[in-house]
Structure 1
């Protein structure tokens, strides 16, 4: 009886230290194949008593779930969407809506996704301005605010006003337009590995900084004790103690 009680008390203590139990991690769907997979492996090796349940969604959905306490940790593109879907801060501290934002966990390259029948789809690289005669499918500002702002800003920097054919709330829908030959879009390069046939992915020459978004980790100001531990693993640092502050 005493052994069972001791084991139960020890387990409660391990959970309180962030060494055991289940934590919920959210990320943008496309990014789940990159560093979240590495985080799952590191956690299984270094913190075998800790289980990470992975949730995938848009930047806005993941950020809102972290705010609401339904996720313990999220990975989203910078700028982090504020509550209500507007693009927010780039990070390095506590954001305007009290999310702690830790930038620099990954970066993406945004490329042109074009119908394969277009001559430009077969180019090794292009300038963004070469797309001025192409119809565009643009990401919706409500669900994909950061990507939407970046796409429009990059086009305007290149002296290009996108010829908008449609707006979509997710990249899969945008690629459906592209695969059928109706319009091109700007999309993360990693989508080439998961997209339907009929699409050519073409990088930009000397791309704007708008087209190389970074990914930040986000959590609430007083995170579960496991969160500093798993972020330390991803950072390649020694496992932090349970007494460490969230900003360490």
Structure 2
């Protein structure tokens, strides 16, 4: 078995080209994708602000509270479905985010937040990383919660390795007290 890092979009392309057997993706994806989708974890997005930010002392903020801030966000081509979900949530909160920095990885976004470059929204799952200089804040109000769904994707061919990996992934997420597991367990 080999592991490769890839975006949701790249994994779907690789699956359809038969270059990989299985992938971890973020939903939603294009409903026309010819892959088997097994949802395994439902999470939510939270705000990430520099610990010196005026909002850093709040336990909960609205998405609109971030409307004047410089945003750090990934380009839509890396995860078109979730990108559209984030933009729609902002529009529901009556603003369009002012994206000043685009990043590929959430960890990079957190580093830039710690450096004071801007704010980001990240999956709650990442709060356990506890990066120095970053404060995570729950989001409420219009546009929230913004779902963050993780799934395994594979071809429709029966594969015992895939089935085992699905069970291991469900078990791993089940141990996380903040996780919601799909498909039983």
Tell me the TM-score normalized by structure 1. Answer: 0.60
Partner Cα separation in structure 2 for residue 208 and residue 64 of structure 1: 30
Answering whether residue 2 of structure 2 is matched by residue 67 of structure 1, we say no
Change (3 A) 1:149 1:225: same
SS of equivalent residue, structure 1 residue 75: strand
Aligned residues of 1:153 and 1:210 also touching (Cα < 8 A): no
Cα displacement (A) at 1:223: 3.6
Q: In structure 2, what is the equivalent of residue 180 of structure 1?
A: 115
Give the distance between the partners of 1:150 and 1:187, measured in 2 at CA. Answer: 13
Contact 2:70/2:118 (8 A) holds in 1: yes
For residues 235-246 of structure 1, the aligned pairs below 5 Å read: none
- Say how many residue pairs are matched: 171
Separation in 2, partners of 1:222, 1:232: 17
**3-state SS of the aligned residue for 2:77?**
coil
CA contact (8 A) 1:175 1:195 kept: no
Distance of aligned partners of 1:178 and 1:229 in 2 relative to their CA distance in 1, 3 Å threshold: closer
SS at 1:169's partner residue?
Answer: coil
Deviation per CA, 1:39-75, whole angstroms, max 9, x where unpaired?
xxxxxxxxxxxxxx55443222333332233332222
What CA distance in whole angstroms lies between the structure 1 residues aligned with 2:129 and 2:169? 25
Match of 2:33 in 1: 97
Q: Which has the higher contact order (CA 8 A, sep 6+)?
A: 2
Match 2:25 to one of 76, 80, 93: 76
SS in 1 for 2:56: helix
Note closer, same or farther for the CA distance 1:54–1:217 as it changes in structure 2 (3 Å cut): same
Question: In the alignment, is residue 141 of structure 1 matched against residue 76 of structure 2?
Answer: yes
1:107 matched residue in structure 2: 42
TM-score for both structures, normalised by structure 2: 0.78
Q: Deviations over 1:188-236 (max 9, x none)?
A: 1222233531111101125746611222221112243443455467679
- Answer whether contact 1:140 1:170 (CA < 8 A) is retained: no
CA contact (8 A) 2:45 2:123 kept: yes
Pick the aligned partner of 1:217 from 152, 155, 175.
152
